[in-house]
Amino acid sequence: MRFTKMHLVVGGAAALVVAIGVSIVLGNLPDGGAGADAEDAALLYHDGRALPADFPETHAALAERIHAELETRYGITADQLYDEDARPDGYRVVLTLDKALQDAADETAAGRAGVVAIEPGTGAVLCYAGTDPDTGADLVGPASPHPPSSVFDMITAATALEAGASIESWWSDDELDVTLAQAVSEGRAGAMDTVAGEYGVETVLQTANGMGLTAIADADGNVRDLASGDFAGLTAADLGTYPVPVVDMASVYATIASGGTYAETHFVGAVLDAADREVEPERAVRTAQALAETTAQDLQYIGLGESEAIEDRDFFGVAADYHGQTTESWFVGAIPQLSVAAWANGAAAEDGGVALWRNVIGTAIEVNGYEAEELPGASGAGEDLTEGLGDDGSIDPDSEYCRANPDEPACAASDSPSESASESPSEEPEETTAEPEPDPTTSEPEEPDPTTSEPEETTSECNSWPFC
């Protein structure tokens, strides 16, 4: 099996993100304090309207996650929730789910497809949809991860930036040398493997865990809990092939959109008692500064989109297609107010993950009135490293790096022997006889690049809308 990678065009950067737009707790509702407009039901949307009565059956995996969070954060079980007949004084749960976004997601994510939207800076899940029509399995949670291909590259790039590299650092690709920005935006698999190998799979996955990736499946399909630190058997060169949860990728990109602040993914916005008073949780939502602000800014710069996926506003994202026995299509990206991860497979992937992503983002902009925010640009932080150009640290004078940096001493020094061999014949005799070595112009013919016989497919002309 092989990955074909597609990315958006670069140009832009990060912005500070605050919790704006969608109110995720009942206390922020337009008409008053906690419980002002809440309906009498066990589970409510973020605006106080009741979820459909059959929601726990039609969204079994989501309902299970909600009840697990209630127990973990509030110590409340399902048999303590409101029931009109049995427990009219039971707790009511105000979820973070946005009804308009959830409806749009449910409509779009039909078949083998899924989409999750998370608010940057808060970790609130605004929609969560994706159920296998045959098995009923949750297609967007940890139990059903999918190979991420290029959408994982933002994590690998974050690792390099956090270690002190700049977006203009250079890395060896299978066919040519490229900058870190080019490696991500052009989907250079070989270069991203070089970056991952430089820092090691453990460091990359620790960065991933800090950004919101909670699980990853190994080559045998065993799902690993990244918090456990069990990275045995995982290799840097295969990071794009190890399946990951859709919900986690939405969280990872939310961390980038929020200026590097990670907020725990959660579904419960508030719990109300019989008197409409908000119940204090036993454990608050965890937050942490996972990345430097400059790192998040540069990642947004690398992925800034210029396509019809969304118009008239800055966004950043990465698209990827996975080709094997089936076709899996991803699109993960964000505006400052919302991060969305979309995945599709089989017939559902015909229009690509971008169709799901665009539908949810477009609905959110229309319903919640998200203002367009301009992203400021690259930070300029980090060093323009060249260690990734070769195993021995040498630089090929014919490389793309030297063509882009002809005045670099390493490039000039590399070709000095061939220049001395072509000097005028008026040179002193002892210079030609002092070292009885073969003519340097013929003794070491340059070997062909072993990778040029198999050009990477992603370097060909793009013919897949809207990524051109």
Return the closest-CA partner of residue 153 out of 274, 244, 247: 244
Residue 394, pLDDT > 70, answer no
Average pLDDT over residues 201-230: 96
Q: Is the pLDDT confidence value at 242 over 90? A: yes
Predicted local distance difference test score (pLDDT) of residue 430: 47
Residue 15: the pLDDT is: 32
In this prediction, residues 444-463 reach a mean pLDDT of 38
| Domain span at 337 | 2-368
User: Is 408 inside any structural domain?
Assistant: no
Largest CA distance in the chain: 109
- Which tens digits make up the pLDDT trace of 338-356? 999 999 987 777 766 888 9
Residue 342 lies in a domain: yes
Lowest mean pLDDT among 50-54, 148-152, 419-423: 419-423
Q: How many domains does the chain have?
A: 1
pLDDT band at 407 (very low <50, low <70, confident <90, very high): confident
Instruction: Report d(CA 302, CA 309) in Å as an integer.
Output: 17
**For residues 76-84, average pLDDT:** 97
**For all residues of the chain together, what is the average pLDDT?**
82
Is 354 within 8 Å of 309 (Cβ atoms)? yes
| Span of 288-297, 319-328, 447-456 with lowest mean pLDDT | 447-456
- Structural domain includes residue 79: yes
pLDDT tens for each residue of 199-209 = 999 999 999 99
DSSP E strand boundaries for 76-182: 92-95, 113-118, 125-129, 170-172, 177-179
Identify the residue with better confidence: 409 or 172. 172
Would you say residue 255 lies in a domain?
Answer: yes
On whether residue 416 sits in a domain, the answer given is no
Please give the pLDDT value at position 347. 73
What is the pLDDT at residue 349? 72
pLDDT band for position 45 (cuts 50, 70, 90): very high
Residue 109 lies in a domain: yes
pTM (2 d.p.): 0.81
**Cα(208)–Cα(226) distance, integer angstroms:** 9
Between 134 and 393, the higher pLDDT residue: 134
Cis bond before residue 466 (omega within 30° of 0) = yes
pLDDT at 26 over 50: no
CA proximity to 156, closest of 299, 344, 5: 299
Q: At 392, is the pLDDT very low, low, confident or very high (cuts 50, 70, 90)?
A: low
Give the tens place of pLDDT for each residue, 268-313. Answer: 999 999 999 999 999 999 999 999 999 999 999 999 976 666 878 9
List the CATH number of the domain containing 307.
Answer: 3.40.710.10
In a domain, 270, yes or no: yes
Q: Write the CB contacts of 65 (distance below 8 Å, at least 6 apart in sequence).
A: 128, 141, 267
Predicted confidence at residue 351, as pLDDT, reads: 67
Looking at the chain, how many residues does it have? 468
Q: Does residue 425 form part of some domain?
A: no
Cα separation, 261 vs 249, in Å, equals 15
